[in-house]
Structure formats: structure tokens, C-alpha cells
Amino acid sequence: MSSRKQDALDYHRTGRKGKIEVVATKPCRTAADLSLAYTPGVAEPCREIARSPELVFEYTARGNLVAVVSNGTRVLGLGNIGPLAGKPVMEGKAVLFKRFADVDVFDLEVNSEKAEDFIKFCQLLEPTVGGINLEDIKTPECFLIEETLRSTLSIPVMHDDQHGTAMVSGAALLGALQIVGKQIDQARVVFVGAGAAGIACATHYLRLGVQPERLLMVDTKGVIYSGRTEGMTAYKARFARDTELRTLTDALRGADVLVGLSTKGSVTPDMLKLMAPRPIVFALANPDPEITPEDARGARNDLVMATGRSDYPNQVNNVLGFPFVFRGALDVRARAINEEMKLAVTHALAALAKEPVPDSVCQAYGVKRMEFGPEYIVPKPFDPRALVWVASAVAKAAMDSGVARQPVDLAEYRGRLEQLGARLALPASSGRPS
């Protein structure tokens, strides 16, 4: 057994099993404490909430609680491994929510592959949590599940595999385009992979300004073109184009941007040689990208490249999105996570990438300096400013778009987020925002 595999197994098994636990936030050491925590004292907040349901946010943890819900049918890099085998991933998601944004999580694994079962489960769950993060659900069920829940629930719901990737890679796209001196509405964009992430990213890029006629999507059957029937779904059909191109090689000839959300080895160096000058290559398959940076740079020395991995520059990591999205949404008690909020995340991250990078962030990554350029197009996950910039942008967009039920003063809110970020940056820190 490799040392890396053993380290991972030991990490999860040593001491208390797994990666999360529930911690009480109020004392319960005396008879008086017990009488407040449970009967008879607990009846008082119950009566208040029964009279005014919104008071549930004042007297319970619902306002800082997100459910991470999965059935394990499309676990990143592992496929359909089921709800039990997927549970370590969901616990890991809980750790990231807590570490980066102090959001509490219940990870909930649903033992059904039927979309209707999953939907009903989440609908019945609504009184428990302030938001739902959908995770690792196969296509096309993930689209139906999210669409139905967004239309029937009054709390924020987001499928992170789709929208987390879209928001963060969208920020990387804006930065990369500026670096190579190209306009988004003139860029030819080719997607390799037409699953949940690919379709969500393509949809988001269109909102950012990519022109529909300049975007091609390629799946395992080739280019998605008008009239194609093999391997098509209603979701893929939205990206069918009138074109004579049929293969990935055809599509990449003269393309400005390649977005890989597919599998290892699906892009070759020869394909990159066909792209336009100063191409942008996002090889985001994990753990192994569609083409390695070494092979990509061997073919082109003028590209800007990003992967999903931490051992290469320009990591497109969803942790730059989902913890802060839910932090902002929860703090204004948003009824939904809408397109305005997603765009706000992308623009906030793109703007932050151009700001001077603090020495503390450089030290965390073992480098002397970082600055906006070909090897730094998105902020680093451990940059504490991301919490402030993204969560406040989400809160503002929620208020501006009318889905916030409890508006905040943005200047005061940013101050609270800065204090929270400082606490989270400390070793073994914890605690809710004030």
C-alpha cells in the first residue's frame, strides 16, 4: 500500500472516526442548564416560533446550517459508488464549509437513485436547514432535482458540481482573457465534456458574454450539432450549433479557449497546436486533467492554463465558491441562489485576483510573491479575503435582486466578515459570526 493511500486512510480512521462531530454551543453541566436546554425551558422558544415562524432563525441553529445531500451516483473521479462510499466526500465538504466560512453542515446520504425520492427527501427536510448543497448526483437527474427544488423550496439550493465550477472557472476565464488580450464576446470557446459541470459552465459563460454562435460543446460522440440524435438530451440540445465540424480536433482549430470537464487524456498536444495564438486551456478533470500542464506547454509556450489541482498554478477549486456563497445567502436569509448572485461571485473573484496578494498568503504557498498574470488568474483557496469579497458580493446581489429576507448594511457586514476571517485563520479556531 502506498504511503499516500495509507496516510489518507489513517487520517479518516485515527481517533474519533470520520472528520466531523456535533458540538453544543450552550452549556449543559448543571440541572439549571438542563432545564433551559430541554424541558421545561425549551417550551418557550417553541411557543415563540409557533406564533412567528421566522423566529426559528433567532432561537435555533437553522440560520447557519446547510445540508450537503448526495446519493453518491456521480462522485468526482470515482463514479457511481453509492451513498455509503460517498459519505467521506460529504464529510469533507462539511469540513470545508466550516473551515472557510463557519457554516455548519449535516451531511445526508440518500439511499435512492430515483429523482422523485431525492426531491421528496429534500422537500421534507426544508424546516431543518437554512440551505441545501446538492453534491455528486449523476446527470440528467441532477438537473431535474435542482430545478424542482429551486422552484418548490424557499431556501437557497445549489448543485455545487454545476455552479461552483461555473462561478470559479468563470472568474479564471475573465482573468485569462485579460492577460491574453482577448474580448469575451470575440472568443471562440470549446467545451470537452457535456455533463453537469460542462453544461452549467457553458450556460454561465454565455451570461458572462460569450456569444452562443462562438461556443461549441463536444462529448464522447463528438461535436453537439443541430440535428444530432445520438447521445442527446434536452440539456445538451440547448448547445447544438449549425456547424459542419464533427470532432474535437475539428472544433479546436482556431479556438481561443478550451474548457475540459471530461476525462484524463481526452486532449492531446497536437490538438493544442491547432488553437489560436495565446490560447486559454482549462483542463479541469480531477484528479487527472485532460492534458497535463507539462504536455500542454510542450506543445504551446504561449498558453494560459488552469487545472483543478493544487500542485499546479491556477487551481480552479470550488472551495473558492460554495462556502462563501452560502455564507452570504444565509446571512441575508435569501430565498434562493439566483443568477445575479452567481455572476456576482465570478466578478468578485476576478476582481480580487488583481489585488496585491498579502505576504501571509504567499507564505502559505511557499512563494515570495504572487501577482496577477499567466500563473495567477484566480485567488488562492487559503486567501482570507475571499470570504469578505465573495460573501458580501452574494449578499448585495441577493438584496439587489429581491431574494433577501433580512437585508444587511454592507459596510458593517464586511467588517463582520473580516473579523470572522481573522478567527478562521487562527489554529483550531471556531465560532459563529456575530
Question: What amino acid positions are annotated as catalytic residues?
Answer: 38, 93
DSSP 231: T
* Residue 279 to residue 297: CA distance in whole angstroms: 11
Q: 188 with 241: CB under 8 angstroms?
A: no
311: which 3 cell numbers?
Answer: 500542485
403: which 3 cell numbers?
Answer: 431574494
Beta bridge partners of 217: 191
Q: 160 with 318: CB under 8 angstroms?
A: yes
Which strand (E) or helix (H) includes residue 216?
strand 215-219
DSSP 319: G
* Residue 274 to residue 54: CA distance in whole angstroms: 58
* Residue 25 to residue 37: CA distance in whole angstroms: 11
Where do we find the cell 465538504?
A: 93
Which strand (E) or helix (H) includes residue 395?
helix 385-400
Reported as half-sphere exposure (CB side, CA atoms, 13 A), residue 277 has a value of 3
| C-alpha closest to that of 168 among 15, 314, 375 | 314
180: which 3 cell numbers?
Answer: 491574453
How many residues are present in the chain?
434
Residues 11, 164, 350, 257: is their CA dihedral positive or negative?
positive
Q: What share of the chain is helix, strand, coil (3-state, %, to 5)?
A: 45, 10, 40
* Residue 425 to residue 11: CA distance in whole angstroms: 21
Amino acid in the structure at residue 227? G
Which strand (E) or helix (H) includes residue 158?
strand 157-159
385: which 3 cell numbers?
Answer: 479575503
